[in-house]
Amino acid sequence: MKSVLCDLQDDEVASLNSSKRGMFFKKGQTICHEDSYPQNVYCITGGMVKLIQTGTDGKEQIVHFTSEGDTIGYREVLGGDMYSSSAVAMEDSAMCSIPRALFISYVRKNPKVSFKVIQRFSKELETAERKIISITQKPVPERIAQSLLLLEESYGYEDDGMTLNIILKRDELASIAGTTRETATRFLRTFERMKIIELTGKKIKILDNEKLKKSARLQK
Amino acid sequence: MKSVLCDLQDDEVASLNSSKRGMFFKKGQTICHEDSYPQNVYCITGGMVKLIQTGTDGKEQIVHFTSEGDTIGYREVLGGDMYSSSAVAMEDSAMCSIPRALFISYVRKNPKVSFKVIQRFSKELETAERKIISITQKPVPERIAQSLLLLEESYGYEDDGMTLNIILKRDELASIAGTTRETATRFLRTFERMKIIELTGKKIKILDNEKLKKSARLQK
DNA sequence: TTTCTAATGTGACCTGAATCACGTTTTAAA
DNA sequence: TTTAAAACGTGATTCAGGTCACATTAGAAA
C-alpha cells in the first residue's frame, strides 16, 4: 500500500491487515454518499473512482478523480466531518476499507504518518486554491486546456505516448473544467481544428503539447 | 497565542519566545510576496491581513482574510512550497515571525500540534471545495449573499448586533464573491432595496438575516 | 442481431454579468 | 483646508457561454 499509511510500524501493519476488509464495486456503484457519516476510509486497490458533489440544482460537480493507491474519505475522517462528496466507481473497482477509529489512531500515533498527511493536505489545498483562481479568472477554453494538462499529469499516456490514459465522458470533462457538456464539446472541437488534439470516440490524443500549454496560458 | 501552536511543551514555548520576532506593518504594506520562498511563519497579534493571489491578467483575487490569532504561511512551510499568495496588511497590523525550520520541528515533534494542523487543513479544504462548487454553480447574487454570511461568521457584529464588524472595499467584497466591483455594488444595492441590508459608507448592516440566508440558498 | 437508452455534436437563441465610460463621493496627502 | 487620488455608483453596451432543441452515434441489454 502506497499512500499515507506506508510508514506504519510492523505491529500496526499486522493489525491493519486483520482489520481491513476487501470490497468490490461495479461501474456506476456508489461507494459512499455525500452527507453521510464516514465509518471507513477506503484505499483503492484497483479501478477508478470519481468524487462528486451535488450542487444546488442537483448538478454534479467532480471534485477529484482517484485511482489505485489513493485514499477516499480520510479528509472527512480526520476532520470529523460528514462525507463532503460521494464516491462513485467509474469502472469496476476494488478497494479495502479501514475502520474510522483505527485510521485515526494510526495517524495520531505515528508522527511520520501525520506529517505525510499534512503534506498531502497542503498539496490539495494549493490545488484547490489554484482552481478557484482559474475558474473565476480564466475563460472556458483555457480551463479546458488546463484540464487536459491536469489529466496528462495525473494519468499519463497510453503506449503511443500521445493518447491520454483515461477515458471520460464529455460531462465529466466539462465538470472538471467547470463548464457544460455542450461548451466542452465545442472547444474540444476547436482544439481539434487547430491540430492541438485529436478525438477518437472518448479517446483524446494530444498532438501539440506546446500549443496546448499556450492555450492554457500556464505561466505558473 | 491561540492557533496551532498552543499545545507546545514548556521548554518549546521558551525556545519559541526567544526565537520569535515581533514585527509591525502599516496599512497596505506587504508582509510576504507570492512566489517567494517562505523563511518564516507569521502569527498575527493584531490588525487584519488579506491573502491575495494575482491572476493571469494581474487582477487580484482574495484567498483569505486573517486576523488576530491566525497564522500565515504555515501551509506553504509545511508543504515545502513557495508562498502561493501575498499577504497584505489591510490595516496597521502586528505579528511575530517564527523561523521556518523551527516551526516545522514543532509540528513534527508534537503529535498534538500535528493533529491540530491536520484538522485545520481539513476544514480549509472543505471550505475551498465548497467555494469551487459555489462559484461554478451559483449565480452572482447568491454568492454575494453567501459572502456576507461568511463575513458574519468570521467577524461577527459590532455592538449594535447588526453591523458587520469588518470594513471592506467594494473590490475586496467582489473578490470574495468572485465577481467585479460594479456587479457587487449593483447587487448590494438590490439587497438594500429589498430591505435585507443597509449600507452606510463601507459599513454593512444586516437587517434581515433570514432573507439573506434565503438569498444565498444555503440548504447546506 | 435488433432494440433501446445513454452519450454526443451542433446550430439557434438568450441572458447574466463583464466591460466601458463617466460623474460623484470619500479619503489621504500636502 | 485645499487638492489630488482613490473608491464608488450607475447607465449603456457587449459578449462569453449557458440553455434549448434536435439530429446522430455509440453502447448496453435483450
pLDDT tens sequence across A84-100: 999 999 888 999 999 99
Measured CA distances, A141 to A187, A188, A206, B128 (Å): 6, 8, 15, 23
Q: Is A80 on the interface with B (CB under 8 A)?
A: yes
Whether residue A157 is predicted with pLDDT greater than 80 in this model: the reply is: yes
Whether residue A1 is predicted with pLDDT greater than 60 in this model: the reply is: no
Rounded Cα distance, B72 and B95, in Å? 10
* Nearest of B4, B120, B100 to residue A117 by alpha carbon: B120
pTM of the model: 0.90
Q: Do B129 and A128 touch (CB under 8 A)?
A: yes
pLDDT range class, residue A220, cuts 50, 70, 90: very low
Residue burial B48-74, b: 16+ Cβ < 10 Å; e: rest: bbbbbbbbeeeebbbbbbbbbebbbbb
* pLDDT tens track for B136-185: 889 999 999 999 999 999 899 999 999 999 999 999 999 999 999 999 99
pLDDT range class, residue A216, cuts 50, 70, 90: confident
Write out residues whose CB is closer than 7 A to strand C.
A 169-171, 181-182, 185-186, 188-189, 199, 202; B 139-141, 178-180, 182-183, 201-202
pLDDT range class, residue A219, cuts 50, 70, 90: very low
Q: Which is more confident, B12 or A136?
A: A136
pLDDT of residue B17: 72
* pLDDT tens track for B112-137: 889 999 999 999 999 999 999 889 88
Q: Do A135 and B133 touch (CB under 8 A)?
A: no
Rounded Cα distance, B125 and A14, in Å? 31
* pLDDT tens track for A13-32: 667 777 788 899 888 889 99
Say what angle helices A170-177 and A181-193 make with each other, to 10 degrees.
Answer: 90
Q: Is B138 on the interface with A (CB under 8 A)?
A: yes
SS3 category, B10: helix
CA angle B121, B125, B126 (to 5 degrees): 120
* pLDDT tens track for B38-77: 999 999 999 999 999 887 677 888 988 898 889 999 999 9
Cβ contacts of B36-39, under 8 Å, gap ≥ 24 = B36/B82, B36/B83, B37/B82, B37/B83, B38/B73, B38/B76, B38/B77, B38/B81, B38/B82, B38/B83, B38/B100, B39/B99, B39/B100
SS3 category, B97: strand
Q: Is A157 on the interface with B (CB under 8 A)?
A: no
Q: Do B121 and A126 touch (CB under 8 A)?
A: no
Rounded Cα distance, A167 and A145, in Å? 16
User: In which element (H, E) is residue A167 found?
Assistant: none
Name residue B95's amino acid: M
Q: How many CA atoms lie within 13 A of B182 on its CB side?
A: 0
Check the CA dihedral B109-B114-B116-B120 and report its sign.
positive
CA B205 to C1' D4, in angstroms, rounded, equals 31
Rounded Cα distance, B205 and B164, in Å? 6
Rounded Cα distance, B107 and A118, in Å? 10
pLDDT of residue A51: 93
User: Nearest C-alpha of chain B: how many angstroms from A166?
Assistant: 23
> What is the average pLDDT value for chain A, to the nearest integer?
89
Dihedrals phi, psi of A155, to nearest 5 degrees: -120, -10
Rounded Cα distance, B76 and B53, in Å? 14
Q: Do A55 and B111 touch (CB under 8 A)?
A: no
Contacts of A183 in chain B (CB under 8 A): none
